[in-house]
């Protein structure tokens, strides 16, 4: 049984030029014995890429010379736009754009807290509508505590109250409702 000689080649992604691993290329049986050639796969070079660790990738710099470089690799991670707060999935090797960060900006997070606080106030205001409806249905005067409570919630929702950080306490339910 004849064993065909092989030579190791190192493949790379044709878009990112990142190392995708070694392959064995068989000897071209039609090549001359004094100058053997191998049937190298497309997108491969005979030069071994440098070793990498987690968070790195070997990227081909020159196909002609088979020159590699080690680059940072955040592919598959979600980073955040520091202007809009939008999440961005990193899809290429190398340093991500300067407007991206691993964490969301403190300004964005603060804005999210305010938005969530306003939503909570709106939900509480909507729930309080039931109490007001029960007062009307049962001919019970709306207690001043409930009017004050709803006014405070409206101020949070419309943004005129920028000092509060917690919702006002729900007053006692009116008797007879």
Q: Where in the chain are the domains?
A: 6-72, 106-158
Could you say which DSSP state residue 32 is in?
A: -
Query: Which pLDDT does position 1 carry in this prediction?
Result: 66
Point out which residues pair with 60 in neighbouring strands.
68
Query: Which pLDDT does position 118 carry in this prediction?
Result: 93
Beta pairing, strands 100-101 & 44-45: unpaired
- The one-digit pLDDT tens for each residue of the chain (177 residues) are 678 899 999 999 999 999 999 999 999 999 898 889 999 999 999 999 999 999 999 999 999 999 999 999 999 999 999 888 889 999 999 999 999 998 877 777 788 889 999 999 999 999 999 999 999 999 999 999 999 999 999 999 999 999 999 999 999 999 888
Task: Provide the 10 A C-beta neighbour count for residue 93.
Answer: 19
Token match 């080649």: residue? 9
Beta pairing, strands 78-81 & 56-62: unpaired
Q: What angle do CA 166, 171, 172 make, to 5 degrees?
A: 145
Which two three-digit tokens encode residue 45?
Answer: 């070079």
Q: Give the span between the Cα atoms of 122 and 110, in whole angstroms.
A: 19
Query: Which pLDDT does position 43 carry in this prediction?
Result: 96
**Nearest CA to 69 among 77, 79, 60, 78?**
60
CB 112 within 8 A of CB 102: no
Token match 């680059």: residue? 71
Strand boundaries in 73-116, DSSP class E: 78-81, 87-89, 100-101
Cα distance between the two ends of the chain? 96
CB 126 within 8 A of CB 150: no
**94 Ramachandran zone, left/alpha/beta (phi>0; psi -120 to 50):** left
Query: Which pLDDT does position 107 carry in this prediction?
Result: 77
């Amino acid at each position: 049984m004849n064993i065909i000689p092989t030579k190791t080649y190192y493949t790379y992604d044709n878009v990112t030029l990142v190392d995708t691993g070694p392959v064995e290329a068989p000897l071209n049986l039609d090549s001359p014995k004094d100058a053997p050639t191998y049937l190298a796969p497309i997108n491969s070079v005979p030069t071994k890429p440098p070793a990498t660790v987690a968070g790195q990738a070997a990227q081909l710099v020159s196909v002609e010379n088979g020159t590699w470089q080690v680059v940072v690799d955040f592919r598959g991670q979600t980073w955040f736009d520091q202007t809009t707060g939008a999440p961005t999935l990193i899809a290429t090797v190398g340093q991500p754009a300067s407007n991206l960060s691993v964490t969301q900006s403190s300004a964005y997070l603060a804005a999210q807290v305010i938005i969530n606080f306003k939503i909570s106030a709106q939900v509480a205001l909507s729930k309080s509508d039931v109490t007001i409806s029960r007062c009307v249905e049962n001919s019970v005067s709306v207690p001043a505590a409930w009017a004050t409570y709803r006014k405070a919630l409206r101020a949070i929702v419309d943004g005129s109250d920028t000092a509060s950080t917690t919702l006002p306490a729900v007053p006692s339910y009116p008797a007879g409702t």
